[in-house]
Structure 1
Amino acid sequence: MPELPEVEVVRRGLAPRTVGRRIQDLEVLDARIIRRQVGGEDRLRAALVGSTLTAVARRGKFLWWRLADPDGADTGEALMGHLGMSGQLRLATADGIAVTPGADSEGPASDPLRHRRLSLHLEDGTRVDLIDQRLFGGLWTSPLVPAADGALAGVGSPDALLPEGASHIARDLLDPAADLPSIARALRARRAAIKTLLLNQEIVSGIGNIYADEALWEARTRFDTPGAALSQRRALAILRAAGEVMERALEVGGTSFDALYVNVDGRSGYFARSLSAYGRTGEPCPRCGGPIRREVHMNRSSHFCPRCQRGTAPSAPDAPAISPRPR
């Protein structure tokens, strides 16, 4: 599943090639991809065709475009999207050939036409394709509401307005407005395991399984350490480690293990070769040389070094890490 760095790579790829362009047409090839759209395809088409994309922003794993009407006035709603488990937003030219990236990156590049579910046709001939093999992602419109703290709504946002559909999501660790001491106190107020808390998008958004394992390895903390057992200093160290790991992943295009995550040009990131714990079961810990171990906790695999990641006895979780809403 794409996590924060991968979604930010996509946002950065979309911004220069879509912002300022008018939507000329909407093509829906599979209605399941717009299942969250109130009013269905007719409502989506009415909101988009003729509108101009004025900004592309992100909070956690949510992306959204701001929309302006033909007179240039903000429409009061956003086109928001979530990539789910396997979603891709890909750019193509009018003849369907994928846009060539400026520099090669490693990993597989998937067929840009496979599992295409929806396309936005822009006035300059660019086509934005939503490709989703498993159909857990989607695009839909959502009215804008003020951010609770009054700060810019997310990375790339022009103001404090965000889509109502993302208003339940906490700020992420790459957001300049994120209050790390407050997030640390929220972690320490719970008895749940620290990894469960890092995955709770209403505490801190954007972190998934990969970067939680890597952050906890960096901070020398076991995945099942209760949040309430952490000092404020340790909780802050974990959050800073998570932010630093995701910044490093962002620099190399994110983490790709297969063709389910690629950037807007169809290329994969290569942070996988820099991972210290995730997916390294049985390999030597880069820090102490002990074997990396994998354990299942709360139905999720956790990768850690039992020699240099220490913690106290785990406690029963006090809140679920996942809700039915997209995270």
Structure 2
Amino acid sequence: MPELPEVEVVRRGLTEHALGRTIGAVEVLHPRSVRRHVPGAADFAARLSGRVPTVAHRRGKYLWLLLDSGEMLLTHLGMSGQMLVQPTGKPDEKHLRVRLPLSDGTELRFVDQRTFGHLMVDVPGVREDVPSSVDHIALDPLDPAFVPEVFVRALRARRTEVKRALLDQSLISGVGNIYADEALWRSRLHWARSTQDLSDAQATELLGHVREVMTEALEVGGTTFDGLYVNVNGESGYFERGLNAYGRRDRPCGRCGVLIVREAFMNRSSYSCPGCQKPPGARG
């Protein structure tokens, strides 16, 4: 699933290639992709036609375009969603779900193989620049308004595993499986470590590594494993080359040489080094 760095790369691409263009007649080619837009596909298309995106925003894994109507086009990429800007007339992608023609002769295309992503038109919530559907999502660690001390206190007050806490979008947004594993590896913390057992210093260090790994990923366009994540121009990210834990099962840890292990975690996988990320209760 695209995480904060990947979504931020897409946001920057939309800022360059979609803002200030008038949206034409929208085509919804798969109704599941607008399932969160309760009034339905026809209403979704009608509310976008003739509108002009003015600003591209992001919080965590959510992305939205502020429209000149005051409404927002809200996007969640899900597992395989892509927002592409393509020339009009270019052959359709196999899994094209929604087409938004733009006045400069290009099209904004929502492509989604697995159809877990979605688009919807939303209205402002508590803040006029944030959709109501995103009000409950916590700030992400790269947001200028994010307060580290507040996060550290909230993290240590939880009664759960540290990785589970990192994936809790009501505590901190934008962190997914890849960057949680990478930040925990850099912090020498096992994913099952209790949040209550963390000291202020450990929690602060962990947050620092979360920010660090996301910033590094952002600089190289994010992480692409299976070709499902690309930027608006269809280009892949290259952070996979810098991964130390995620996806490296049975390969030596770059720090201590012990083989990386893969363990089941919340219907997904967690990667760690048993040598320098000691499981809870382990000796030595």
Provide TM-score, normalisation by structure 1.
0.83
Which of 166, 179, 188 aligns to 2:134? It is: 166
SS in 2 for 1:294: strand
Matching of residue 301 in structure 1 with residue 281 in structure 2: no
| 1:32 matches 2:32 | yes
DSSP 3-state at the match of 1:217? helix
2:61 counterpart of 1:81: no
Alignment of 1:226-237 (within 5 A): 226-237=194-205
Moved over 4 A (4+): none
Match of 2:235 among 267, 272, 277: 267
Which residue matches 2:124?
Answer: 144
Aligned residue type for 1:137: G
Deviations 1:1-53 (A, max 9, x none): 11111111111111111111111220111111111112112221221111110
Structure 1 CA distance for aligned equivalents of residues 70 and 101 of structure 2? 22
User: How far has the Cα of 1:311 moved from its partner?
Assistant: 5.4
Give, in angstroms, the shift of residue 233 of structure 1: 1.3
The gaps in structure 1 that reach 5 residues or longer are: 69-74, 98-111, 148-159, 315-327
| Alignment gaps of 5+ in structure 2 | none
User: How far apart, in 1, do the equivalents of 2:110 and 2:136 lie?
Assistant: 24
Partner of 2:18: 18
Contact persistence 1:61–1:205 (CA under 8 A): yes
1:44 partner SS: helix
Alignment of 1:107-122 (within 5 A): 113-122=93-102
* Counterpart residue number, 1:51: 51
Task: Tell me which of the two structures has the higher relative contact order, counting C-alpha pairs closer than 8 angstroms and 6 or more residues apart.
Answer: 1
The reply to whether residue 94 of structure 1 matches residue 74 of structure 2 is no
2:125 counterpart SS class = strand
The answer as to 2:102 corresponding to 1:134 is: no
After TM superposition, give the deviation of residue 236 of structure 1 in Å: 1.2
Q: Which moved more, 1:78-87 or 1:260-269?
A: 260-269
Amino acid at match of 1:94: T
Query: Displacement, 1:203?
Result: 0.4
Task: Using the aligned pairs only, state the percent identity.
Answer: 50
1:76 Cα shift? 3.0
Q: Is the 8 A contact 2:28 2:45 kept in 1?
A: no
Query: What is the root-mean-square deviation of aligned Cα atoms in Å?
Result: 1.4
Give TM-score, length-normalised by structure 2.
0.96
- Please name the residue that 2:251 is paired with: 283
8 Å contact from structure 2 (residues 256, 276) kept in 1 = yes
